Every structure is written in structure tokens, then in C-alpha cells.
Chain A
Amino acid sequence: MSNKVRLMQGNEACVEGAIAAGMKFYAGYPITPSTEIAEISAERLPRIGGKFIQMEDEIAGIAAAIGASLTGAKTMTATSGPGFSLKQENIGYACIAEIPVVVVNVQRGGPSTGQPTSPAQGDMMQAKWGTHGDHPVIALCPSSVRETFDLTIRAFNLAEKYRMPVLLMMDEVIGHMREKIEIPNASEIEIVDRKRPSCPAEDYLPFKPEANLVPLMADFGAGYRYHVTGLVHDETGFPSNSTDIADKLIRRLVDKVELNKEDIITWEEENTEDADIIIFAYGCVARAAKTAIKILREKGIKVGLFRPITVWPFPEERLIELSKSVKTIIAPEMNLGQMVLEVERLCNKHTKIERLNKVNGEIIYPEEIVAKIEEVL
């Protein structure tokens, strides 16, 4: 059977990816520019026996998605700008209670109501540090419609595998842009389901980690009656005031990502083999970077692209390695310098780092990247 070729926008590809990944529940609240994700979920889910609910606010949207996940359903919520701020409370809850949920943020200009219909990349550090306390973070960043489809599936797979919230950091351009995409057949798509216990209920310890640091997760209603809390808890799930248990738990939660980085981290490189200059770009900006590389290569300037696909955890090792062989890294971002802080932290011993920032609600154009590179050459 041939794969389906479709013209669709990123927000639609997100829902299609989610459904391909097994999403059966969506809860959210309308907000530009992510609303189509809710609208399309509302239409699609009941047709496949799934459930959609529009909650009373953003906080309730993620809360309902987390609740539904406890019954065994694969769940998602999507938002933008102010809604991402509101979701931070329960992102932290899903981290400590170890409940899989996919949280999509179609980024728009901020702070506050900011520029609701304009693209931005201003929430990249919020994705990392937005909820209080030390916690694990996985955040993926697509730069095309097809990649939105693929990364939404991956977000579900990672959420299931590591029992945690996974953030899909889109932007308004990727969300609303239409591209032709070829939807793969179901047989070509790798699907990961959370590992469930098979032991007798009395032997089940809901927060006792397996070798990969992730505990087995029983569905509510499946006969394993256990307690889930946002308080620090022991392996039974019951709250604890023990300093040892607190230390062990928080470190394990963070280590689920830290010690499994090789499994999680992905990035894309283009023309880096002989590059003198590397453009560090992600999301819609990486598209402009690719055009800029073509223009500059035609002029004989050896430029390459490094694009983190998992922005958190950050692809540190490869970027450090590359930085040792290039003269400059240019970091164009639609914010006043967020991911560049990682680049500077990791690479400033090895190479020169230049910023290019824009926060006026416009995309970064290839010509602007070209001009910046010619200026710093």
C-alpha cells in the first residue's frame, strides 16, 4: 500500500503524529497559535474511540491529561505563550509523579500576551527551567511539518519510555506553515508503550526503578491499588520526610534523562565536514539557515549547520567536538539569546560565538544570517 501524501500544516501534523503514536485522550484550552491542535483533536479522537475535552483553563488541561494517563491512555495537551506558563505547575507534578504526558508549545511572542499571532523562540529556557525544583526535561524541536509528525510520535515514545512529560517546542511558523508530507504506514512507525507490571499486586512497588531507572507503571483500575503524590515519596509511593529518600528520588528523576542521553539526544548536521563557520539554529530559524548556507557556499564561504532536535537534553558532546574545528559559531534565534547560552557555556574555550537575535515578531530571513556571517568573517 502506498503512503498517504497530504498537504497539511504543522499543527495538523502534530495531531496526526499523536494519533499514529496511540493518543487516546486530549485535554486543552484554546490559545493562538496552537488552537488547531485542539480543534483537530476534537474532531478526530471520538472517531477512533478516543476522548477530547476542552477544560476551563490551561492548568486543568494538563491536569486532565495527566489524570487520563494514569488510567493507561496516551495523552496530550497543547498550548502557546501564556498557557505554557500556566502549565508549568503540573509539568513539575508529572515529573515527580512520573506520569507520561506530551505537552506541545507552539511558541509565540512574549512576555505576557505579547504577540499572539507571531512566531518566537522565547520559551526555550522556560522549557528547561520553567517549573520549580530540579527535574528532568526532554524537549524536542521540529523545523518542518513532516518532522512535527515524526517528533510528536517520538515525544509520545519518550514519555512512555521514561515516564515523564515530554515537551514539543514548536513555533508559530512550523505550526501554521503548510507543506506536503508523506505519512508513513503504521507498520513503518516505531511505537513504544509504557512498561506495566505483571507481578502479583501485593508485590508491586510503584516507584521502584528498573535497570533504566524507570519504574513499572500500572493503570488505575487494573488491580494494583497504589498511591501517587507530588510530595517526595518512597518506592511505595507514600510521602516521606527522609533526607536520604528525597536525595535518591530527585537524583533518580534527573538521571532518567542524564544517564540515558545517548538514547534521547538527536541532532542534524549539514555541510559541517569542511565548515569554517557553523550556524547553530533550531525550529523555523534552521530553515533560513539552510538557505543562507546555499547562498554563502555559492560565494565560496564554507558554512555548515548544527541543528539540535532534542534541545533538552542538549547535544553537548557533538557541538563541543565541532567547535574545535571551526572559527565561529553563529547562533541566530528568535529571542534575545537563550540556547546560545548553552553554546557559549560549552564552546567559548574553542571558538568565537556570535549572536543574531530578533524579537519583533518576524522570522529571521536568510539574508540576515548571510549579512551577519559576512560581517564577522
Chain B
Amino acid sequence: MPSQLVDKYFRAEDLPQIWCPGCGHGIITRAITVAIEQLGLEPDKVCVVSGIGCSSRAPGYLDFNTLHTTHGRALAFATGIKLANPDLKVIVIMGDGDSTAIGGNHFIHACRRNIDLTTIIFNNNIYGMTGGQYSPLTPKFDKGTTAPYGNIDRPFDICDLASGAGATYVGRGTSYHANVVTSLVKKGIMNDGFSLIEAISGCPTYYGRKNKKGGPVDMMQWQKDNAVTVTAAAKMTPEQLEGKFLIGELKNKPEPEYTKEYQKIIDNLKGSDI
């Protein structure tokens, strides 16, 4: 029922969106709105914040309180929103370069604070908006316009990075596994703390073309063929897992949430001398 979702959660007057044909971002954006629908969140209390890049155009199409910020800074803006008004459900959408290169510092510290933000990283392994430069998520030896001879940087694993930095809920889905994304986003929103969902998205225009990955369908087929659920992976050997990636819930360890901890300070000070 996409049209009902569009009526309810999209700013129809601002559609169609700017993404290229075959881009996975629209599917992931839809998957997020399905999560919001299933949770029955009050749109007036939902805030969607983004940085800069292809993914970061998503909030503009969504009928919530939406903020398109500066490159890499979405989590810092979102932190201010959430701390100032903890009643808001704050969802953050960033790209791979946006979140882990220019925004890398904000990313690890938002994870560390365990502030209640649900962050979805649209990972298309490339800087799409600027025309296909390699990002910290471009696999080693893959090509970008700034890696014409192959990328010699080692990529991050965003989920490992988030877990290590202290995120209390972490999961991964893909634009092929849109239902997984919806389920993870739901759980992320329900987690009272910092949640990170990596959503692998296909960029046929730049990443796909530069690396001869075929068209949009081929790229989705690749997601289907190489994703392994956490449950399935538990029964597989390291050899069988070679070149595969995990999808599903990777971490769920609730800890005290930042804005609630701050509220305790305020409450404890009540009645004390100034």
C-alpha cells in the first residue's frame, strides 16, 4: 500500500524525489516510514535529521519535523534537539561518507553517549552526490573517481564501529531486505538509547558503473546472494562466510540513556541553593 504511506508520511508536493533510477535510497526511506507506521508514532513528535549527500535528501520528502543540516553534522544537531526536547522521537539519516568521514567524530561520540537517537546509515559505498568518489565504506581495491587505480584504504565496518563506540542497538539490512530494515528501525526506535542501523543501498549510477556491478537488479541480486542472517551465520564455517556480510540484529544491550541521566541531575538539584 505505498500510496497510503505516501499520503500519510510523504510531502507529495515535493515528489518525485531526486534519486537516480535504480537507487536503493527510496526503498530504505519507505522502509523507515513503514516502521513509523507500525509503531504508530505521532508525526508531530517525530523529527528526522540528516547531513549532506544523496541519503540526506530523504527528510525533505517526509512529513515530519525535518532538518537537513551540514555535511557530517546531523548527529550533533540531533543531539541538541533530543536533549532540549526529549519528548521528540529523533531519527537521523546519513550517508556512508557523511557519517564516517566528515562526521566520524560526531558518530563515535553519539554512540558513546547513548543518547536516544535512531540513526540509519544509507551505505552505498561511494560519495554519490559529488559524482562517485571513494568513501570510508568503499571496499578495498574498488574504484571511485578519486581512486582510478583502485582504493587502497581499508573500509570501516560501520556496525563494528558503532558497537565498539558504545551504541546499545546495532543492526544491518539492505535495500533488498527492506523488511529487515523496517524491523531493525522499529527496534532501534524502541531502544531507549543510541541505535545504529546500517542499510546497504545500491548506487548503480556511480559505484555500480565504476566497478562493473551491473544494473540495479544485479546489485540487488548481489545483496540477496551475499547477505547472511545472524542465525544462519551461526551454523556456517569461516570459509563459508568468506565475502559474505551479516544482516539482522547485531547488538541489543540497553544501558542508561543520556537525556534521562541528565534529567536525574536536574531532579536532584531541585530545591537546592543556587
Q: Is A64 an interface residue (CB 8 A)?
A: yes
Contact yes or no, A75 B80, CB < 8 A: yes
Contact yes or no, A71 B84, CB < 8 A: yes
Interface size on A, residues (CB 8 A): 42
Q: Is A227 an interface residue (CB 8 A)?
A: yes
The CA of A69 and the CA of B67, in the complex, are separated in Å by 12
Q: Is A264 an interface residue (CB 8 A)?
A: no
Q: Which residues of A contact B262 (CB under 8 A)?
A: 46, 51, 53
Contact yes or no, A225 B79, CB < 8 A: no
Look across to chain B and name the residue whose beta carbon is closest to the beta carbon of A49: B266
The CA of A59 and the CA of B71, in the complex, are separated in Å by 11
Q: Which residues of A contact B274 (CB under 8 A)?
A: 44, 47
Q: Which residues of A contact B106 (CB under 8 A)?
A: 56-57, 60, 63
Q: Which residues of A contact B87 (CB under 8 A)?
A: 221
The CA of A51 and the CA of B259, in the complex, are separated in Å by 9
Contact yes or no, A51 B83, CB < 8 A: yes
Number of chain B interface residues as a range: 35 or more
With contacts A55-B79, A64-B76 taken as known, whether A231 is within 8 angstroms of B84 at the C-beta atoms is: no
Contact yes or no, B76 A228, CB < 8 A: no
Q: Which residues of A contact B59 (CB under 8 A)?
A: 227
Q: Which residues of A contact B80 (CB under 8 A)?
A: 25, 27, 53, 63-70, 75
CB of B264, distance to nearest CB on chain A (Å)? 10
Q: Which residues of A contact B220 (CB under 8 A)?
A: none
With contacts A47-B269, A223-B44 taken as known, whether A53 is within 8 angstroms of B70 at the C-beta atoms is: no
Look across to chain A and name the residue whose beta carbon is closest to the beta carbon of B47: A220
Question: B44, B60, B81: which contacts A71 (Cβ < 8 A)?
Answer: B81
CB of B247, distance to nearest CB on chain A (Å)? 30
Q: Which residues of B contact A59 (CB under 8 A)?
A: 73, 76
Contact yes or no, B45 A221, CB < 8 A: yes
Question: A63, A65, A221: which contacts B69 (Cβ < 8 A)?
Answer: A63
Q: Mark B229-261, 1 if CB is under 8 A from A, else 0.
A: 000000000000000000000000000000000
CB of A171, distance to nearest CB on chain B (Å)? 27
Q: Which residues of A contact B65 (CB under 8 A)?
A: 70, 220-221, 225-226
Q: Mark A208-246, 1 if CB is under 8 A from B, else 0.
A: 000000000000111101111111000000110000000
Q: Which residues of B contact A67 (CB under 8 A)?
A: 49, 67, 76-81, 84
Q: Which residues in chain B, 84-111, are within 8 Å of chain A measured between CB atoms? A: 84-85, 87-88, 105-106, 108-109
Contact yes or no, A221 B85, CB < 8 A: yes
What is the number of contacts between chain A and chain B, taking CB atoms within 8 Å?
A: 134
Contact yes or no, B67 A70, CB < 8 A: yes
Q: Is A24 an interface residue (CB 8 A)?
A: yes
Contact yes or no, A229 B44, CB < 8 A: no
With contacts A46-B266, A60-B109, A220-B88 taken as known, whether A231 is within 8 angstroms of B68 at the C-beta atoms is: yes
Q: Is A276 an interface residue (CB 8 A)?
A: no
Look across to chain A and name the residue whose beta carbon is closest to the beta carbon of B102: A59
Look across to chain A and name the residue whose beta carbon is closest to the beta carbon of B259: A51
Q: Is B272 an interface residue (CB 8 A)?
A: yes
Candidate in A27, A46, A49 with the most chain B CB atoms within 10 angstroms = A46
The CA of A229 and the CA of B74, in the complex, are separated in Å by 12
Candidate in B66, B68, B105, B274 with the most chain A CB atoms within 10 angstroms = B68
Contact yes or no, A227 B88, CB < 8 A: no
Q: Is B63 an interface residue (CB 8 A)?
A: yes
Q: Is B14 an interface residue (CB 8 A)?
A: yes
Contact yes or no, B272 A47, CB < 8 A: yes
The CA of A223 and the CA of B85, in the complex, are separated in Å by 14
The CA of A27 and the CA of B274, in the complex, are separated in Å by 21
Contact yes or no, A90 B70, CB < 8 A: yes
Q: Which residues of B contact A68 (CB under 8 A)?
A: 80-81, 83-84
Interchain Cβ contacts under 8 Å between A and B, 7 examples: A27-B80, A56-B105, A60-B106, A66-B80, A70-B80, A73-B85, A225-B43
Closest 3 CB pairs of A and B: A67-B80, A64-B80, A63-B76
- Chain A residues within 8 Å of B, Cβ to Cβ: 24-25, 27, 44, 46-47, 49, 51, 53, 55-57, 59-60, 63-73, 75, 89-90, 93, 220-223, 225-231, 238-239
- Chain B residues within 8 Å of A, Cβ to Cβ: 11, 14, 43-45, 47, 49, 59-60, 63-70, 73, 76-81, 83-85, 87-88, 105-106, 108-109, 262, 265-266, 269, 272, 274
